[in-house]
């Protein structure tokens, strides 16, 4: 691992309340913790009041709400003083639009296709059946006609700028200057102006600019200046604007005619489901897709980050939603070329990408990309910790609760079809129409009707197993061909029609074989556009169907319902884990390893608690049955409904187990659980949804949660729940330390999400973006000795300091042995004895240095069903063949008698005296 690659990263979520100066204050704490690089959420100017920073409105300016340039300079200075690098989250895929603070978008609305920024947005100008091509803006909270009649859309004049805009609350809709003469004539007439008044000057200005296409874009600034300079004009215009208001006899019709002649179409927000002609980020209307493949757009949006990199104030980038781009490979290549040029260095710049890989999917070769942000490794760690023996009983219990034997594949298919029919229907319709035009352009395929093509494309997407392929204008790779071929074959096998050859056509369109060597007659530009647009579409379909729908319908074991995960995943044995680590050393070893992010479905310690249910399936099943009886009176029933549903009730028990405070329920727990419950129900899209909320169901759900957590109404339930929660919390804490040790020592760069150095029992966002008490963490760190008292920390494990101590120890280890962890070799180690399947061990080595790691797995049997931190008893031994001179790195480097024991073995009970983690320094015998 080259020196420019971080040894560790610490993710901070910035906000108006926690900006650059607050981040700078953390530099000493992060240094004491051992972090090598701070990794922040986006730092560029976002929409005013943004809660997350991903709705960028200006890529050339640092976010003023975070303190702007001066505060950013202070952050960089504080990090330099602490010896910490800086990585920022960068958003090239989309911008925040729809309000009054994105000058690019406003210019496009004002000037349409003649705007210099029109090429920056992915807009299908001819995609809607309107007389004047325009952008559909689904921003209205009610149907367009109602909004007009209520006066919610209002024409206003800005006297300072000399400009007209329609406003819908805080949405600004610039009026085309080509319509200013029409407006001036209307308002002056309405204001009854006479000769010699400002009204006459307005009419004269209107007459000079009354021709078609007048004023031009170049002439418009002077026209607006002249308009703003007419004395008394503002008062006349303000009086005359009454002609565009509902109070005027023809006001609604007059405003409607004006709006119909703009470069946009204002619409009810629900219209976006069926008709929208700009690419969005997933289904979010006010995040418009950028065409970063446009050379001018690429240069402008990277101008500031390139400058920061050239000045040495930035050491890395995390690229948000790489799969949303037209051509990720080309983007990655251009990005590295730009950064090397401005830095005048041949050394690659550290770049990781947010990329969801399905299990077994190979990372595509993106030039200069070190790897992903680590979701695939999060799920590997979960599968190492899950108990294979408990999955079958949990599956049976889930079947009894769900009342169906339908597998997850069927749930995912149903979710995909629902997404295609609703929230992404308009984008799917655009692709279908494009495919139909391609087919109609050649005699051999003109009989493929649009309905049949839609059905075939839908079946292909349903069977498509990953987020996207990476076909470029040059064609498809062997890996992409294999993926497309499998999905086409699966779709063809299910086809009920008499025309299976339609899939040959679809295959050749997706791979670009339709316009390849020796093929002619099809429009190359259309085929390429279709193939590459499909790739931008399959990712949002998978994300919305899998992560944001199916994950909230299938609840066998919620800990496996994680970004990049599979709810039906099996446990991962030691041999398979070692195999994956060996492969990672060879490829993309410099990517991040995450256990929590701003997008994970639950906190890392909440997740491992839920994983522990696989170790306690019988206890869990008995407890759930008891809780269902105890809470039966809280369930609201009617002839045809149960509120909450049995599925939601079961999900709530698992979620509550993960979030249960170690000291018992606090005042905020009920509110957090209500927030989670409603979000989960809406995401699942069965009883309620974001598009069509069901207030009655949601109200019943909230009542159930609050009554369930009310000691006056549910004392017996809370007592029973607390008993199992305490047991699971103990096993979860042990699992957490194991997860932490593996994350920090396996190949890759460990990433720590803000605040997770203590127990992280958060839920899905926005719960996981709550403010972090860094003062408490800093104070706790100050109480820890350089060589921690592990036994004492274990006795007081609920306070979380044992996790904090291990975090600092592991980071210190990485800093002390950078060569070992920056690309050192990986060696599986043998474990013998009756409990060998409960131990995972490996070594990392480089030159004369080696670090040996051993952890315990599936630890519930070792806790003896108690609630106290156990003195773990093991019948297993670790073999140190190939290594000598072992020293205990958790205990001041004290020697261990590895060589004195026959075969070089060490009893695991000697290693796991206080915690189920052992870290040893040793010398590889090959280095002697």
Residue 900, pLDDT > 50, answer no
Q: Give the pLDDT confidence score for residue 897 in this predicted structure.
A: 66
Residue 1, pLDDT > 80, answer no
| Dist. CA 907–CA 897, nearest whole Å | 10
- Is the pTM higher than 0.85? The answer reads yes
Q: Give the pLDDT confidence score for residue 860 in this predicted structure.
A: 87
> What's the angle, vertex CA 458, arms to CA 511 and CA 270, rounded to 5?
120
Average pLDDT over residues 195-201: 78
CA–centroid distance for 736 within its chain: 23
User: ω into residue 644 within 30 of 0, thus cis?
Assistant: yes
pLDDT-based confidence at residue 865 (cuts at 50, 70, 90): low
Average pLDDT over residues 142-152: 96
Contact criterion met (CB below 8 Å) for 402 and 646: yes
| Residue range 502-539, pLDDT digits in tens | 999 999 999 999 998 767 789 999 999 999 999 999 99
What phi, psi does 729 have (nearest 5°)? -60, -40
Residue 661, pLDDT > 70, answer yes
* CB-neighbour burial class of residue 447 (10 A; exposed 0-12, middle 13-18, buried 19+): exposed
Residue 928, pLDDT > 60, answer no
| Residue range 410-431, pLDDT digits in tens | 999 999 999 999 999 999 999 9
Contact criterion met (CB below 8 Å) for 35 and 750: no
Q: Give the pLDDT confidence score for residue 868 in this predicted structure.
A: 57
Q: Give the pLDDT confidence score for residue 744 in this predicted structure.
A: 98
Q: Give the pLDDT confidence score for residue 92 in this predicted structure.
A: 98
| Dist. CA 640–CA 396, nearest whole Å | 25
pLDDT-based confidence at residue 407 (cuts at 50, 70, 90): confident
pLDDT-based confidence at residue 870 (cuts at 50, 70, 90): low
Average pLDDT over residues 3-18: 95
Contact criterion met (CB below 8 Å) for 883 and 850: yes
| Beta-strand pair 877-879/905-907 | antiparallel
Q: Give the pLDDT confidence score for residue 848 in this predicted structure.
A: 93
The SS3 call for residue 489 is: helix
| Dist. CA 599–CA 402, nearest whole Å | 27
Residue 708, pLDDT > 70, answer yes
Element (H, E) at 320: none
| Residue range 445-496, pLDDT digits in tens | 999 999 999 999 999 999 999 999 999 999 999 999 999 999 999 999 999 9
Least confident of 195-199, 307-311, 324-328, 635-639: 195-199
Average pLDDT over residues 257-282: 91
| Dist. CA 330–CA 326, nearest whole Å | 9
The residues that bridge with 268 in the sheet, in sequence order, are 140
Average pLDDT over residues 699-703: 98
Between residues 43 and 905, the one the model is more confident about: 43
pLDDT-based confidence at residue 653 (cuts at 50, 70, 90): very high
Query: Which structure tokens are listed for 158?
Result: 């800005």
CA–centroid distance for 146 within its chain: 36
Buried-state track 84-107, b at ≥16 Cβ within 10 A, e below 16 = bbbbbbbbbbbbbbbbbbbebbbb
Q: Give the pLDDT confidence score for residue 404 in this predicted structure.
A: 73
Residue bearing tokens 């957090």: 672
Residue 640, pLDDT > 70, answer yes
Residue 162, pLDDT > 80, answer yes
| Residue range 304-329, pLDDT digits in tens | 999 999 999 999 999 999 999 999 99
Contacts of 293 (CB under 8 A, 6+ apart): 325, 326, 327, 330, 331
Q: Give the pLDDT confidence score for residue 871 in this predicted structure.
A: 58
Give the Å distances, CA to CA, from 212 to 110, 115, 179, 181, 215. 16, 17, 10, 11, 8
| Dist. CA 720–CA 332, nearest whole Å | 54
| Dist. CA 908–CA 572, nearest whole Å | 21
Residue 272, pLDDT > 60, answer yes
Residue 739, pLDDT > 50, answer yes
Between residues 485 and 191, the one the model is more confident about: 485
| Dist. CA 437–CA 510, nearest whole Å | 15
User: ω into residue 766 within 30 of 0, thus cis?
Assistant: yes
- Indicate left, alpha or beta for 389 from its phi (over 0: left) and psi (-120 to 50: alpha): alpha
Q: Give the pLDDT confidence score for residue 872 in this predicted structure.
A: 63
Buried-state track 120-152, b at ≥16 Cβ within 10 A, e below 16 = bbbbbeebbeeeebbbbbbbbeeebeebbeeee
């Amino acid at each position: 691992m080259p020196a420019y690659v971080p040894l560790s990263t610490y993710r901070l979520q910035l906000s108006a309340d926690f900006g650059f100066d607050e981040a700078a204050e953390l530099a000493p704490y992060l240094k004491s913790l051992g972090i090598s690089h701070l990794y922040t959420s986006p730092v560029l100017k976002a929409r005013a009041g943004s809660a997350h920073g991903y709705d960028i409105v200006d890529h050339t300016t640092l976010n003023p709400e975070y303190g702007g340039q001066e505060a950013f300079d202070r952050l960089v200075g504080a990090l330099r003083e602490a010896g910490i690098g800086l990585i920022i989250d960068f958003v090239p895929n989309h911008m925040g639009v729809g309000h009054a603070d994105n000058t690019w978008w406003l210019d496009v609305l004002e000037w349409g296709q003649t705007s210099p920024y029109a090429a920056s947005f992915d807009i299908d100008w001819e995609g809607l059946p309107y007389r004047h091509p325009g952008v559909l803006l689904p921003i209205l909270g009610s149907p367009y006609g109602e909004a007009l009649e209520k006066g919610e859309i209002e024409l206003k004049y800005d006297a300072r700028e000399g400009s007209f805009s329609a406003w819908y609350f805080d949405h600004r809709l610039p009026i085309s200057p080509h319509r200013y003469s029409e407006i001036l004539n209307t308002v002056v007439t309405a204001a009854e102006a006479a000769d010699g008044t400002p009204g006459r000057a307005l009419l004269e200005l209107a007459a000079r600019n009354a021709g078609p296409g007048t004023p031009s874009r170049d002439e418009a600034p002077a026209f607006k200046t002249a308009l703003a300079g007419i004395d008394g004009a503002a008062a006349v215009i303000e009086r005359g604007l009454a002609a565009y208001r509902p109070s005027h006899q023809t006001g609604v019709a007059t405003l409607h005619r004006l709006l119909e002649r703009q470069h946009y179409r204002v619409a009810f927000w629900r219209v976006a489901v069926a008709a929208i002609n700009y690419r969005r980020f997933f289904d979010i209307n006010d995040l418009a897709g950028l065409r970063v493949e446009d050379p001018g757009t690429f240069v402008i949006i990277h101008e500031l980050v390139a400058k920061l990199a050239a000045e040495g104030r930035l050491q890395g980038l995390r690229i948000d939603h790489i799969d949303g781009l037209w051509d990720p490979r080309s983007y990655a290549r251009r990005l590295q070329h730009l950064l090397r040029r401005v830095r005048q260095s041949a050394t690659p710049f550290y770049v990781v990408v947010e990329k969801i890989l399905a299990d077994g999917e190979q990372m595509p070769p993106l030039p200069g990309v070190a790897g992903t942000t680590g979701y695939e490794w999060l799920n590997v760690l979960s599968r190492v910790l899950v108990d294979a023996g408990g999955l079958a009983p949990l599956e049976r219990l889930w079947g009894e609760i769900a009342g169906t034997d339908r597998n997850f594949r069927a749930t995912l298919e149903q979710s995909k079809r629902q997404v295609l029919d609703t929230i992404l229907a308009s984008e799917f319709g655009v692709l279908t129409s494009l495919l139909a035009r391609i087919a109609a352009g050649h005699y051999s395929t003109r009989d493929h009707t649009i309905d049949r093509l839609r059905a075939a494309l839908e079946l292909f997407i349903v069977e498509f197993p990953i987020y996207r392929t990476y076909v470029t204008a040059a064609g498809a790779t062997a890996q992409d061909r294999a993926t497309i071929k499998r999905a086409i074959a699966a779709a063809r096998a299910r086809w009920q029609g008499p025309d299976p050859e339609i899939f040959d056509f679809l295959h050749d369109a997706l791979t670009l074989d339709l316009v390849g060597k020796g093929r002619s007659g099809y429009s190359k530009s259309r085929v390429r556009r279709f193939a590459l647009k499909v790739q931008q579409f399959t990712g949002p379909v998978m994300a919305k169907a899998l992560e944001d729908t199916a994950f909230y319908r299938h609840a066998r074991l919620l800990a496996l319902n994680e970004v990049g995960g599979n709810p039906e995943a099996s446990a991962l044995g030691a041999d398979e884990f070692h195999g994956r680590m060996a492969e990672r050393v060879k490829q993309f070893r410099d990517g991040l390893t995450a256990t929590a992010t701003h997008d994970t479905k639950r906190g890392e310690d909440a997740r491992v608690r839920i994983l522990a249910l696989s170790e306690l399936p019988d206890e869990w099943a008995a407890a759930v049955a008891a809780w269902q009886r105890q809470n039966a009176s809280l369930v609201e029933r009617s002839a045809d409904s149960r509120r909450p549903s049995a599925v939601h009730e079961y999900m709530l028990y698992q979620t509550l187990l993960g979030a249960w405070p170690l000291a018992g329920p606090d005042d905020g727990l009920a509110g957090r659980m209500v927030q989670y419950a409603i979000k989960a129900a809406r995401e699942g899209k069965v009883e309620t949804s974001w598009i069509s909320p069901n207030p009655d169901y949601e109200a019943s759900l909230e009542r159930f949660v609050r009554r369930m957590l009310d000691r006056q109404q549910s004392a017996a339930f809370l007592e029973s729940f607390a008993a199992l929660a305490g047991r699971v919390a103990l096993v979860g804490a042990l699992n957490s330390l194991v997860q932490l040790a593996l994350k920090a020592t396996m190949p890759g760069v460990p990433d720590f999400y803000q605040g997770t150095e203590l127990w992280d029992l958060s839920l899905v966002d926005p719960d996981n973006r709550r403010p972090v008490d860094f003062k408490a963490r800093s104070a706790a760190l100050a109480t820890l000795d350089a060589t921690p008292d592990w036994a004492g920390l274990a006795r007081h494990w609920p306070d979380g300091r044992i996790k904090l101590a291990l975090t600092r120890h592991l980071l210190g280890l990485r800093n002390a042995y950078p060569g070992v962890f920056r690309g050192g070799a990986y060696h599986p180690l043998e474990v013998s004895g009756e409990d060998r399947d409960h131990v995972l061990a490996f070594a990392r080595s480089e030159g004369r240095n080696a670090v040996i790691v051993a952890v315990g797995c599936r630890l519930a049997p070792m806790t003896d069903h108690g609630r106290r931190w156990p003195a773990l008893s093991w019948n297993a031994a670790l073999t140190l063949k190939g290594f000598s001179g072992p020293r205990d790195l958790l205990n001041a480097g004290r020697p261990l008698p590895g060589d004195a024991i026959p075969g070089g073995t060490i009893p695991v009970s000697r290693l796991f005296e206080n915690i189920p983690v052992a870290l040893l320094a040793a010398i590889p015998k090959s280095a002697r």
